[in-house]
Amino acid sequence: MSHRIVLATRNAKKLAELDRLLSSAGLDVQILGSDAFKDLPEIDETGQTFAENALIKAREVCQHTSLPAIADDSGLCVDALDGSPGVFSARWAGESANDENNLDLVLEQIVDVPDGQRGAYFACAAALVMPDGREFLVSGQVNGQLLRQRSGTGGFGYDPIFVPDGYSVTTAQMSAQEKDAISHRGQAMRELVPLLVQALGDPSL
């Protein structure tokens, strides 16, 4: 029988990404998103770091559902913007902003930054909170450079302008499997898998 685990997100692409990562690790788990629980309230991400926000979300979802909960907080940190947008990546252009608005604003803010000085990195913190109170926290990071215009239609968020170090294409031009292999979230979730197996107490998963 597969275990039920809640991923604290309403983002269908992020849900599919985690499902791929756990499935590729051979875990027999059923991943549910926040939308599977109609009375689950919106969670305020009041933390000052990715780790704090991931734990806030995972704790609240676990408490509300009485199921193991995974949450991540991730974002783009731009060298020329002193690490911003960082934890504000999803709402950089305002609370009602979408991916396109956020991306446009970042491009506008670094328009005068010369090539070679457009370094940035994607960071991710992922938390697993168990109903018995155990908590696990992991992280991942991928460094790269920002383009001056979009390239590619895959991925989401800032993927169309981010070229990872050692590559000549953006993460939006990669296949889902290629991106998972190097992405900040992919790194974090691979770190989380053995902890999840341990927490569920079933080595045969």
Look up the CATH number of the domain holding residue 94.
3.90.950.10
DSSP bridge pairs for 120: 78, 144
Q: Output phi, psi for 24, to 5 deg.
A: -65, -20
Question: Other CB atoms closer than 10 Å to residue 188's CB: what's the count?
Answer: 24
What percentage of the chain exceeds 70 in pLDDT? 97
Across the beta sheet with 3-7, the strand order is 29-33, 3-7, 69-78, 119-129, 135-146, 162-164
Our count of domains for the chain comes to: 1
Full domain range(s) for residue 79: 3-200
The answer to whether position 83 is within a domain reads yes
Catalogue the E-assigned strands of the chain: 3-7, 29-33, 69-78, 119-129, 135-146, 162-164
pLDDT exceeds cutoff 90 at 175: yes
Residue linked to tokens 């629980």: 37
pTM of this structure: 0.88
- The dihedral sign for the CA sequence 86, 88, 93, 96: positive
Query: Per-residue pLDDT tens for 51-92?
Result: 999 999 999 999 999 999 999 999 999 999 999 999 999 999
Q: Which residues are catalytic?
A: 73
**What pLDDT shows up at residue 202?**
55
Residue 171 covered by a domain: yes
Mean pLDDT of 10-18: 81
pLDDT > 90? residue 119: yes
Q: Let me know if residue 205 belongs to a domain.
A: no
